[in-house]
Amino acid sequence: MAARKPRRAPARKKRKGASLNPARFLPTHQRYTPALLAHVRQRFEQTPEPIPSMAADLGVAPQSLHRIARRYGWVRRNPVPPPRDVTPALTMLAEAKALEAQADGLTVGPERAASPLPPPARFT
Protein backbone atom coordinates (compact mmCIF):
# COMPACT_ATOMS: atom_id res chain seq x y z
CA MET A 1 0.00 0.00 0.00
CA ALA A 2 1.04 3.52 -0.70
CA ALA A 3 1.80 5.81 2.21
CA ARG A 4 -0.71 8.52 2.82
CA LYS A 5 0.29 12.14 2.62
CA PRO A 6 -0.28 14.11 5.78
CA ARG A 7 -3.30 16.33 5.53
CA ARG A 8 -2.78 20.08 5.66
CA ALA A 9 -4.96 22.24 7.84
CA PRO A 10 -7.54 24.18 5.87
CA ALA A 11 -6.55 27.76 5.13
CA ARG A 12 -8.23 30.36 7.27
CA LYS A 13 -10.68 32.61 5.56
CA LYS A 14 -9.66 36.22 5.40
CA ARG A 15 -12.03 38.57 7.07
CA LYS A 16 -13.25 41.51 5.12
CA GLY A 17 -11.10 44.56 5.88
CA ALA A 18 -8.56 42.53 7.86
CA SER A 19 -5.58 43.70 5.83
CA LEU A 20 -3.20 45.76 7.91
CA ASN A 21 -3.28 49.24 6.53
CA PRO A 22 -0.56 51.25 8.28
CA ALA A 23 -2.39 54.52 7.64
CA ARG A 24 -5.24 53.32 9.86
CA PHE A 25 -2.98 53.32 12.91
CA LEU A 26 -1.16 56.62 12.43
CA PRO A 27 -2.52 59.55 14.41
CA THR A 28 -3.83 62.52 12.53
CA HIS A 29 -2.20 65.73 13.70
CA GLN A 30 -4.41 68.66 14.44
CA ARG A 31 -3.71 71.90 12.67
CA TYR A 32 -4.27 75.14 14.56
CA THR A 33 -4.53 78.67 13.23
CA PRO A 34 -1.90 81.18 14.36
CA ALA A 35 -4.63 83.16 16.14
CA LEU A 36 -5.69 80.15 18.21
CA LEU A 37 -2.10 79.31 19.10
CA ALA A 38 -1.49 82.94 20.14
CA HIS A 39 -4.59 82.87 22.35
CA VAL A 40 -3.62 79.59 24.01
CA ARG A 41 -0.04 80.81 24.46
CA GLN A 42 -1.28 83.94 26.23
CA ARG A 43 -3.44 81.81 28.53
CA PHE A 44 -0.61 79.30 29.08
CA GLU A 45 2.05 81.88 29.91
CA GLN A 46 0.15 84.67 31.63
CA THR A 47 -2.72 83.13 33.57
CA PRO A 48 -2.91 80.60 36.41
CA GLU A 49 -5.60 78.68 34.51
CA PRO A 50 -5.18 74.90 34.89
CA ILE A 51 -3.67 73.01 31.96
CA PRO A 52 -6.59 70.53 31.70
CA SER A 53 -9.01 73.43 31.25
CA MET A 54 -7.00 74.89 28.36
CA ALA A 55 -6.52 71.44 26.83
CA ALA A 56 -10.27 70.79 26.95
CA ASP A 57 -10.89 74.03 25.05
CA LEU A 58 -8.47 72.83 22.37
CA GLY A 59 -10.00 69.36 22.33
CA VAL A 60 -6.71 67.63 23.23
CA ALA A 61 -5.30 65.80 26.25
CA PRO A 62 -3.25 67.81 28.77
CA GLN A 63 -0.12 65.90 27.70
CA SER A 64 -0.69 67.08 24.13
CA LEU A 65 -0.87 70.70 25.28
CA HIS A 66 2.42 70.21 27.14
CA ARG A 67 3.93 68.80 23.93
CA ILE A 68 2.67 71.81 21.91
CA ALA A 69 4.11 74.18 24.53
CA ARG A 70 7.47 72.40 24.41
CA ARG A 71 7.50 72.44 20.60
CA TYR A 72 6.91 76.22 20.45
CA GLY A 73 9.04 77.08 23.51
CA TRP A 74 6.28 78.40 25.74
CA VAL A 75 7.19 78.99 29.39
CA ARG A 76 4.61 78.69 32.14
CA ARG A 77 4.92 81.85 34.24
CA ASN A 78 2.23 80.99 36.80
CA PRO A 79 2.43 77.23 37.25
CA VAL A 80 0.85 77.24 40.70
CA PRO A 81 -2.61 78.74 41.18
CA PRO A 82 -2.97 81.24 44.02
CA PRO A 83 -3.94 79.79 47.39
CA ARG A 84 -7.64 79.40 48.01
CA ASP A 85 -9.22 81.86 50.41
CA VAL A 86 -12.34 81.90 52.53
CA THR A 87 -15.45 82.18 50.39
CA PRO A 88 -17.29 85.53 50.36
CA ALA A 89 -20.35 83.86 51.93
CA LEU A 90 -18.35 82.71 54.95
CA THR A 91 -16.78 86.17 55.29
CA MET A 92 -20.22 87.80 55.27
CA LEU A 93 -21.51 85.26 57.84
CA ALA A 94 -18.61 86.04 60.18
CA GLU A 95 -19.23 89.79 59.81
CA ALA A 96 -22.97 89.31 60.49
CA LYS A 97 -22.25 87.28 63.62
CA ALA A 98 -19.81 89.93 64.83
CA LEU A 99 -22.40 92.68 64.27
CA GLU A 100 -25.05 90.63 66.02
CA ALA A 101 -22.76 90.02 69.00
CA GLN A 102 -21.97 93.73 69.09
CA ALA A 103 -25.69 94.63 68.98
CA ASP A 104 -26.46 92.19 71.83
CA GLY A 105 -23.87 93.94 73.99
CA LEU A 106 -25.42 97.40 73.56
CA THR A 107 -27.63 98.81 76.31
CA VAL A 108 -31.26 99.36 75.43
CA GLY A 109 -32.17 103.04 75.24
CA PRO A 110 -35.59 104.47 76.19
CA GLU A 111 -36.66 104.92 72.56
CA ARG A 112 -35.97 101.28 71.77
CA ALA A 113 -37.70 99.97 74.92
CA ALA A 114 -40.97 101.66 73.92
CA SER A 115 -40.87 100.31 70.35
CA PRO A 116 -44.11 98.59 69.26
CA LEU A 117 -42.19 96.26 66.94
CA PRO A 118 -41.23 92.78 68.08
CA PRO A 119 -37.54 92.04 68.51
CA PRO A 120 -35.76 90.86 65.32
CA ALA A 121 -35.61 87.11 64.72
CA ARG A 122 -32.26 85.43 65.35
CA PHE A 123 -30.83 83.21 62.65
CA THR A 124 -28.21 80.81 63.87
Q: 76 and 45 in contact (C-beta within 8 Å)?
A: yes
Q: Is the pLDDT of residue 85 over 60?
A: yes
Q: pTM of this prediction?
A: 0.43
Q: Is the pLDDT of residue 73 over 90?
A: yes
107 vs 104, higher pLDDT? 104
pLDDT at 115: 57
Angle at the Cα of 28 from the Cα atoms of 22 and 33, rounded to 5 degrees: 160
pLDDT at 52: 93
DSSP symbols for the chain: -PPPPPPPPPPPPPPTT-S--HHHHSPPPP---HHHHHHHHHHHHH----HHHHHHHHTS-HHHHHHHHHHHT---S--SPPPP---HHHHHHHHHHHHHHHHHHSPPPHHHHT-SSPPPPP--
pLDDT band at 124 (very low <50, low <70, confident <90, very high): low
42-59 pLDDT per residue, tens: 999 998 888 999 999 888
Angle at the Cα of 99 from the Cα atoms of 97 and 101, rounded to 5 degrees: 70
Q: How far apart are CA 37 and CA 45, in angstroms?
A: 12
Give the highest mean pLDDT range of 45-49, 83-87, 94-98.
94-98
2-55 pLDDT per residue, tens: 677 777 777 766 665 555 555 555 556 678 888 988 999 999 999 888 899 999
